[in-house]
Chain A
Amino acid sequence: MDNKSDGKATASLVLGIVSLVFIFFGTFAFIGMILAIIGLVFGISAKKENPEDGKAKAGIVLCIIGLALCTISLLACAACFASLAFLPF
């Protein structure tokens, strides 16, 4: 396994773990979403370079879980423009 691929896999694993922490931070879950997205890109790239890389696989799984849970805790409503209800127009 080359260092570049291993670095990406490690980054993916770390970002996946950190993104999971942000589930408990309310509206700051969007930071977890961003970290999980970056981790996914790294993890997928590492897995493509070395399909047997277990660390990359773990990173991808953690990032997917982190992204899903952060999305669940953040998304309140879609296409509802309720957020504009406070405006006086």
Chain B
Amino acid sequence: MLPTITVFGRTIAMYGLMITLGIIMGVMIAIIRRSKYNISKDDVIFSSCYGGIGLVVGAKLLFIITIIPTIIANWNFIMSDISLLNEALSKGFVFYGGLIGAVIGFYIYSRIYKIDFMMLIDLMAPSIPIIHGIGRMGCFFAGCCYGMHYDGPFHLVFEHSTVAPNGIPLFPIQIVECVFNIMAGILLIFYTRRQRKPGKAIGIYIIYYSIMRFLLEFLRGDISRGIVLNVSTSQLISIFLLPIGIYLFLKPKK
């Protein structure tokens, strides 16, 4: 759709721009909501930095893990031109890796600076789907994470994408995920307007997202992603995350 824009002569990737805008918005929402959680503004910003670092590292690491079999299968071809390996490693991020990495980042911050981890993660819970939803708009602009072939109402046809197949009607999965994520963020903001036990908000988010992601993966068209035991990597992680979400929701910290 619009993979890059030019600002003052510099080309900027819309994906990176949307992710950054999403993070700024997510942190601002957390700052506005922080009073109920007794967490200072500095701690929200600083912990978000740790979370952001974890997000980038985790998303990249999971991507590298998923492409290891492909790299091994094409080892000789890649070794013939080492820049191909650099090309493969310099692109590609996986949301679930980012989510896990961000949670680890928040955990490290809470341990170093003695903050209640469950309170912190509950404060950030509505921000996560909002960041993700805005990031999905970046996918839409870049043409990545595209849907399966579909020629019903509201289908998308990419014309100049370097990622999605051009000229083929596709299911608008990026927009659907964006809407579901933003909706989750808004619902969580309303849910946490009343004081809830720590763990409830993040538990609900994990339950919601793991079910949603598991189902929406069937509508994805970018099939050259990690497949384990006949399900995608994200579906496999969803299966493992769902009981964790249920546990956090039903057995919150006293």
Contacts and interface: CB of A to CB of B under 8 A. Distances in A.
Interface in B76-122: 77-78, 84, 87-95, 113
Interface string A58-89: 00100110011001111111111111111111
A79 B95 contact: yes
Contacts of B78: 87
B139 interface: yes
A76 B53 contact: no
Given A71-B56, A84-B70, A76 B77 contact: no
B226 to A, nearest CB: 9
A75 B70 CA distance: 22
B16 A82 contact: no
6 tightest A-B CB contacts, nearest first: A80-B144, A75-B16, A83-B91, A78-B93, A72-B16, A82-B163
Interface string B36-60: 0000001000100110110010010
Q: Binding site of B, secondary structure by majority: helix, strand, loop or mixed?
A: helix
Interface stretch (A2-10, A14-22, A40-48): A40-48
A71 B74 contact: no
A88 B77 contact: yes
A61 to B, nearest CB: 10
A80 B92 contact: yes
Contacts, number: 124
A74 B42 CA distance: 27
B13 A72 contact: yes
Interface residues of A, number: 33
Given A78-B92, A81-B67, A87 B139 contact: no
Contact of B74 (A51, A63, A87): A87
B73 interface: yes
A11 interface: no
Contacts of B23: 68
Nearest to A86: B84
B138 A78 contact: yes
B195 interface: no
Contact of A80 (B46, B113, B142): B142
Given A64-B49, A72-B20, A84-B224, A77 B91 contact: yes
Contacts of A72: 12-13, 16-17, 20
